[in-house]
Chain A
Amino acid sequence: MSEHHEHHIASAKQLWGIGIALLILTVLTVTVAGLGLPSPFDILTAMAIALTKAFLVAAFFMGLYWDTKFNSMLLIGALAFFILMVSITLLDTLYRDDIVPSF
């Protein structure tokens, strides 16, 4: 750890570029949703676009691209544990003999 550690300063051009990319992706996801793709593909494209947007925000707005790898690891770790939670719970809910009926 040195005394004079340079923090990365993103250029205004970079930041605006990311902002505009996010805007375009938002328009894209609304347009694709309007097309009415068949069942698994609509959610898959929506999530793919959302993940791309999330990646842009995390990498450049939050500066993970220039940051220590450990901070990226924390973010990925949190997502991994979220996926773990969902997938193990699904092991129960998808394979129930009968789901709780409506009253």
Chain B
Amino acid sequence: MANVSTSANSAASTPMKLKVKQFQPAQTPTNTYLTDEKGVWAWLTTVDHKKIGLMYLGSVAFFFALAGFLAIALRTELWTPAKTFIEADTYNQLFTLHGAMMVFFVLVPSIPAALGNFILPMQLGAKDVAFPRLNLASFYIYVFGAIFTFLSLANNGFDTGWTFYTPYSSDTNSAGIIWVTLGVFILGFSSILTGTNFITTIHKLRAPGISWDRLPLNVWALYATSIIQVLATPVLAITILLLAMENILDIGIFDPALGGDPVLYQHFFWFYSHPAVYIMIVPGFGIISEVITTFSKKTIFGYWAIALSSLAIAFIGFLVWGHHMFTSGQSAVATTIFSFLTFLVGIPTGIKIFNWVATLYRGSISMKTPMLYVFIFIFLFSIGGFTGIMLGALSVDIHLHDTYYVVAHFHYVMMGGTLIALLAGLHYWWPKMTGKMYNEPLAKIAAGFIFIGFNVTFLPQFIMGAQGMPRRYYNYIDQFTPFHQTSTIGSYILALGFLIILYYLAHSLFKGKKAGPNPWNSRGLEWQSTSPPDFHNFSHTPVVIHGPYDYHQPIEEFQLGLAVEHGHGEKYLAADATGSEAAETTSA
């Protein structure tokens, strides 16, 4: 790359006579991953992690819009206590579809497969993920799974709720159930492949100098997520397979009419689906850690505490699944232990929140849009977390189980947590992904709409839930009308916020101002490449000599590392093993 200036560096005088450069990415790159190969076919067959990440992002956005549209329809139906404009059976199908799509098509792949795919190899200084073709395969498996779900709609649909509880799901004998369960089964493979890919990439493809203590916290979060994906998703696969067999062959393991045990299905299902909640939220934690340091201009407070608490959450997340089943008739011994273990999740989560707040302390905070979303995240996620603790308390849960209180709780965690973190990450890395800036004032206005709309939608649901409004009900008694109507109005405000985002991001794509390589003056490795990045992410192999959050030096004097010819990074380190800082650490 002609644009990279060569500087005389002490390390250049190694016996290897390698060309060593400072990171100085070009302001206006001539050749990027977007211009490297063009045309629809090149996109559909690409093995480039950045393009696959964008394809995931597009699909996730599509399904989010679709499932969001269903949510608006549901909220509109709930405007009046009786029928407003949808039949009861359709209503049941719509909320099931909303839940299943949001969980399996949006939340699970959103941050890891879309943003993670793009950012993870860049933060590691790798040219790609370890298995690029598997990465593309996982995208198509995802699409394939989605097609099965739509086929289900053409075959009577399904109205079991996204959890597919037996015996209802095995006794209705609807062809729709079989199709959708197969769809979820297939989607699971997509998730498994992504997790496998990420674990291998993090272990084996780190650039020279990126030791475990220089791993960005986003990578730690994705690592914890991948571990959950690999350990939990196969159990979902076998559960769903058994459920499909239950429907096709009546094998009876879960069906009480045939001698089986329906609660066993719930154990199997939640052994995946509770950890899956952490598949959704832990990557969000990673994004928050990245954004909060960049916009506080301060090193992260408690690096190891945050990194290890991700792993702790991943582990404890496997011990608490029974708190979804307090009213299912499981044994008193199990409920008591599950309730106790549930409280433990609060510890690592609290550690994270406190460390983020401590990072803000005396930081030089700039209130750009991503940072605004971080504050929204901390506020909303704390409410979601605290109400979760309440639901984990055994006696309280008996009262609140299957009410709107639960609905409000998981929307605060999943939407107020994961989706807000996704928005933070999207706004943070948008300039890197597209090379364009977006309209900052408009973005802040949209964030305001989303924050207000979200709270207006879901705060009333806590109250009516506590008063006894059950979830998934089509009709309700008159006393809940004001709460439902407030909630519905809130959902419209929320939708408006997302429409504004859609507008200015589309505008930015075509008419946005050019973003330099590092518009936020971040110290992260991904910002040391051009925007948008080179096809190989970096024109040279980076040799990192500093941590990802070294904000104590001004950006002009800061040097994250060196760049050496591709393919010589390892040799460079080996040859230089005596002197410079870069050699103190080895990779993989």
Contacts and interface: CB of A to CB of B under 8 A. Distances in A.
Contacts of A100: 256, 260-263
Contacts of B587: 1
A35 to B, nearest CB: 32
Contacts of A93: 261, 264, 331
Interface in B214-241: 231, 235
A13 interface: no
B322 A94 contact: no
Interface in A78-94: 78, 81, 84-85, 88-89, 91-94
Main secondary structure of the interface of B (DSSP, over half): helix
B546 interface: no
Contacts of A85: 235, 271, 318
B39 interface: no
Interface string A89-103: 101111111011011
B171 to A, nearest CB: 13
B334 A91 contact: yes
A97 B271 contact: no
A103 B260 CA distance: 10
A99 to B, nearest CB: 7
Contacts of A92: 263, 267, 322, 330-331, 333-334
A70 interface: yes
B331 A97 contact: yes
B267 A95 contact: no
Interface string B322-335: 10000001111110
A100 B265 CA distance: 13
Given A1-B570, A78-B231, A88-B334, A96 B319 contact: no
A100 B331 CA distance: 12
Contacts of B267: 89, 92
B513 interface: no
A30 B417 CA distance: 55
B44 interface: no
A2 B588 CA distance: 11
Given A81-B318, A92-B322, A93-B264, A103 B256 contact: yes
Nearest to A2: B574
Contact of A95 (B235, B256, B334, B570): B334
Interface in A43-102: 70, 77-78, 81, 84-85, 88-89, 91-97, 99-100, 102
Given A81-B318, A88-B319, A89-B267, A96 B256 contact: no
A95 B264 contact: no
Nearest to A101: B256
Pick from A2, A77, A88, A94 the residue with the most CB of B within 10 Å. Answer: A88
A7 to B, nearest CB: 16
Given A102-B259, A103-B259, A95 B318 contact: no
Contacts of B445: none
Contacts of B262: 100
Given A84-B318, A92-B330, A96-B330, A103 B257 contact: yes
B414 to A, nearest CB: 24
B333 A91 contact: yes
B495 to A, nearest CB: 40
A26 B252 CA distance: 32
Contacts of A97: 331-332
Contacts of B588: 1
Contacts of A103: 256-259
Contacts of B351: none
B337 interface: yes
A89 B259 CA distance: 18
Contacts of B333: 91-92, 95
A96 B261 CA distance: 12
* Nearest 5 CB-CB pairings of A with B: A95-B331, A92-B334, A92-B330, A95-B333, A91-B334
Interface of B: 203, 231, 235, 256-264, 267, 271, 318-319, 321-322, 329-334, 337, 570, 574, 586-588
20 contacts: A70-B203, A77-B231, A81-B231, A84-B319, A85-B318, A88-B321, A88-B322, A91-B334, A92-B267, A92-B333, A92-B334, A93-B261, A93-B331, A94-B331, A95-B333, A96-B329, A100-B260, A102-B259, A103-B257, A103-B258
Interface of A: 1-2, 70, 77-78, 81, 84-85, 88-89, 91-97, 99-100, 102-103
